Amino acid sequence: MLNRRNFLSSAVTSSLAIGAGLAWRGNLWAQLESLPAQLPDRSLFDQNEDAYWREMRKQFLIPADEIYLNNGTVGSSPAPVLRAVFQGYETGEKMNQADPEDYPIWGYAAWNEFRDPLAGFVGCNRDEIALLRNATEANNYIANGIDMKPGDEVLMSDQEHPGGEHPWNLKAKRYGIVIKKFNLPKPLINPAQVLEVVQAYITSRTRVLFFSHITTVTGVVLPAKELCSLARSKGIISAVDGAHVPGMMRLNVREIGCDMYSSSPHKWLQAPKGSGFLYVRDEMIDRLWSTIATEGWDEPQLRAERFQRIGSSNVPALWGLRASIQLANDIGMDRIEHRQRALCDYILTAMVKRRAISWTSPDPKLRCAIATVNVPPIVRMDLENWLWKEKKIRIRGGDPNKLRLSTPYYLSKDDIDRFLDAFDEYKKSKA
Ligand SMILES: Cc1ncc(COP(=O)(O)O)c(C=O)c1O
């Protein structure tokens, strides 16, 4: 085990000796040292939920006076995750493992010690999971790996992220497949609206239905199970971009019934950046080509492991991924989801009261922890910059007037009130 106190003191000493360049290292360890070593007791949740979440907030390096409403882009890895990453480095970098063959350690491994907890968390078998770097990479595996002829169609929504859409654009340009896009109403009022429009777009050439489970544009939670069932009934492959889902809400890929599912747990699960995954339903694995080929690419018995054979890799990120799953399980995914939904409802209601135009679904089943509102004539980038420079509040938006507000569990209602006060102040100054 890493002895952080020793490390800290030696790091401080050496940083004094070597110069200011190394000082920050000691500082990061010192910061981690200063965070509570234990998570708040679960019983605190029953006594005082807000106090429990306030304690949990202390696990994050985000400064206490900063309000981070952009978890939808990237999360912030909390102390247990960072500690695990460092332990991964400490364990690996000594190069003194019992087995002198380094490859199974840094690549070409089943990594079941990481796939098992992830498979349990998302509801599938380890053999259906490939550990990749993020949803973009996983989406590329999907688009590159499915056999399609010129003229074959992929159907997707008009709210796909570039990391979901462009792999198909590349395939269209290179191989002549056809991309068809269906429009999602803003806001989506009920599941029937999307099911009807998808149904209407399906043709005899449709081979793949690709959509975000939660879209980047509006944060709408699409009825993934129903959409996948529709695709299956027509013999169409269903591929779901779930970048936002693990850690935002409970996920069970089997219940959804999709053929493939990609994700970026660095967002809502607060896993390290560079730890993503691709799920491929067992019956589909043999139909998917690998994108990166090295030893193992053509060995079907490896199942989805063959998609994670990418050469040497950043294994400590996987240590962090495992710790982030452990953390979510320790807190309880139901509690996390409940908290995130409540905060989202709170900020949405407050913004609608301020006459913001909501693109967030009025149906609670079709929204979770991302609220998207438009606030014309306020220019979102001006507001974004002002909030950060003047108030230490980070948001994200879309041009010209859209604000995308993410509500992870570690925020409090006070944080949201501070954002709302700042928003009011800015609005008044522009009146
Ligand atoms: C729906 C969706 N898919 C894919 C991505 C890309 O994520 P990453 O950069 O982690 O690959 C995002 C990022 O915001 C997203 O919202």
Q: What is the 3-state secondary structure (H, E, C) of the chain?
A: CCCHHHHHHHHHHHHHHHCHHHHHHHHHHHHHHHCCCCCCCHHHHHHCHHHHHHHHHCCCCCCCCCEECCCCCCCCCCHHHHHHHHHHHHHHHCCCCCCCCCHHHHCCCCCHHHHHHHHHHHCCCHHHEEEECCHHHHHHHHHHHECCCCCCEEEEECCCCHHHHHHHHHHHHHHCCEEEEECCCCCCCCHHHHHHHHHHHCCCCEEEEEEECECCCCCCECCHHHHHHHHHHCCCEEEEECCCCCCCCCCCHHHHCCCEEEECCCCCCCCCCCCEEEEECHHHHCCECCCCCCCCCCCHHHHHHHHHCCCCCCHHHHHHHHHHHHHHHHHCHHHHHHHHHHHHHHHHHHHHHCCCEECCCCCHHHCCCEEEEECCCCCHHHHHHHHHHHHCEECEEECCCEEEEECCCCCCHHHHHHHHHHHHHHHHHHC
Mean of the pLDDT values across residues 255-269?
98
Give dist(CA 273, CA 264) in Å, integer.
8
Q: Is 278 in the pocket of ligand 1 (CB under 6 A)?
A: no
Answer whether residue 16 shows pLDDT above 60.
no
Answer whether residue 239 shows pLDDT above 80.
yes
Q: Is 142 in the pocket of ligand 1 (CB under 6 A)?
A: no
Q: Which of the residue ranges 5-9, 52-56, 183-187 would you say has the lowest mean pLDDT?
A: 5-9
Q: Is 243 in the pocket of ligand 1 (CB under 6 A)?
A: yes
Please identify, among 301, 327, 353, the residue that sits at the C-terminal boundary of a domain.
Answer: 327
Q: Is 88 a member of any domain?
A: no
Residues 254 and 346 in one domain: no
73 C-alpha to center of ligand 1: Å? 7
Per-residue model confidence (pLDDT) at position 353: 98
Residues 279 and 340 in one domain: no
Mean of the pLDDT values across residues 200-211?
98
Q: Which of the residue ranges 21-25, 29-33, 65-69, 109-113 would you say has the lowest mean pLDDT?
A: 21-25
Q: Quote the number of domains for the chain.
A: 3
Residues 73 and 7 in one domain: no
Per-residue model confidence (pLDDT) at position 138: 98
Percentage of the chain exceeding pLDDT 70: 94
37 C-alpha to center of ligand 1: Å? 32
- When pLDDT is cut at 50, 70 and 90, the band that residue 21 belongs to is very low
Q: Which of 74, 216, 406 to mutate to test the pocket of ligand 1 (most atoms within 8 A of CB)?
A: 216
Q: Is 159 in the pocket of ligand 1 (CB under 6 A)?
A: no
Q: Is 216 in the pocket of ligand 1 (CB under 6 A)?
A: yes
Nearest-atom number in ligand 1 for the CA of 160 is 1
Residues 182 and 293 in one domain: yes
Q: Is 396 in the pocket of ligand 1 (CB under 6 A)?
A: no
Mean of the pLDDT values across residues 189-207?
98
Q: Is 135 in the pocket of ligand 1 (CB under 6 A)?
A: yes
Residues 18 and 46 in one domain: no
- When pLDDT is cut at 50, 70 and 90, the band that residue 18 belongs to is very low
Answer whether residue 10 shows pLDDT above 70.
no
Nearest-atom number in ligand 1 for the CA of 242 is 1
Q: Is 166 a member of any domain?
A: yes
Question: In 3D, which of 388, 391, 375, 349 has the Cα closest to residue 430?
Answer: 375
Q: Is 47 a member of any domain?
A: yes
391 C-alpha to center of ligand 1: Å? 27
Q: Which of 70, 74, 142, 241 to mutate to test the pocket of ligand 1 (most atoms within 8 A of CB)?
A: 241
The closest residue, in CA terms, to atom 7 on ligand 1 is: 135
Residues 336 and 323 in one domain: no
Residues 336 and 388 in one domain: yes
Q: In 10 A of CB 252, how many CB atoms?
A: 12
342 C-alpha to center of ligand 1: Å? 24
Residues 240 and 318 in one domain: yes
Domain residue limits at 347? 42-78+332-430
Pairing status of strand 370-374 against strand 402-406: antiparallel
Percentage of the chain exceeding pLDDT 90: 88
Per-residue model confidence (pLDDT) at position 339: 98
Question: In 3D, which of 136, 143, 169, 166 has the Cα closest to residue 267?
Answer: 136
Mean pLDDT of the chain: 93
Residues 174 and 264 in one domain: yes
Specify whether the CB–CB gap between 117 and 292 falls below 8 A: no
Answer whether residue 13 shows pLDDT above 60.
no
Per-residue model confidence (pLDDT) at position 26: 59
Task: Note the pLDDT tens digit of each residue in 319-369.
Answer: 999 999 999 999 999 999 999 999 999 999 999 999 999 999 999 999 999
Mean of the pLDDT values across residues 201-223?
98
